[in-house]
């Protein structure tokens, strides 16, 4: 799914974003994954190798979703972060690769002596 999803739905507990499209593709993305993989410069840095390891976001929740043109959304979180612009292809990548990304993330946290809980 790289086109605009037909549906973006935040769960009642505000911890999951579900994407849907007319073909039945899509998926669910945890708020934690959205937050730790934010496409913002604050998280990704300004160049290769500058990504910040963001710890303690297991309980983060989605507070807002705002459209950005026809190509993306800006997601606001309860920790105050709201600078990432999530394009449709990036959301599709997170939905498809999320479980594997979380395994890599947990390993990086362990190596740094950090935790998903803070």
**DSSP secondary structure string for all residues of the chain:** --SPPSEEEE-TTS-EEEEE-TTS-EEEEEHHHHHHT--SHHHH-SSTT------S-TT--EEEEEEETTTEEEEEETTS----EEEHHHHHHHHHHHHHHHHHHHHHHHHHT--TT-
Contacts of 71 (CB under 8 A, 6+ apart): 4, 87, 88
Model confidence over 91-110: pLDDT tens digits? 999 999 999 999 999 999 99
List, in order of start, the domains of the chain with CATH numbers: 7-112 (3.30.2020.30)
Kindly indicate the confidence band of residue 12, based on its pLDDT and cuts at 50, 70 and 90: very high
Quick one: pLDDT at residue 25?
65
Model confidence over 34-66: pLDDT tens digits? 999 999 999 999 988 899 999 999 999 999 999
């Amino acid at each position: 799914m790289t086109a605009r999803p037909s549906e973006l739905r935040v769960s009642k507990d505000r911890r999951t974003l579900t994407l849907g499209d007319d073909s039945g593709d899509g998926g669910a993305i945890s708020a934690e994954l959205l937050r730790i993989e934010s496409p913002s410069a604050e998280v990704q840095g300004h160049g290769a190798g500058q990504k910040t390891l963001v710890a303690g976001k297991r309980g983060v929740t989605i507070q807002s979703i705002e459209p950005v043109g026809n190509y993306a959304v800006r997601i606001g979180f309860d920790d105050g972060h709201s600078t990432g612009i999530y394009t449709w292809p990036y959301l599709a990548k997170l939905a498809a690769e999320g479980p594997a990304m979380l395994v890599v993330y947990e390993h990086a946290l362990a190596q740094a002596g950090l935790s998903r809980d803070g």
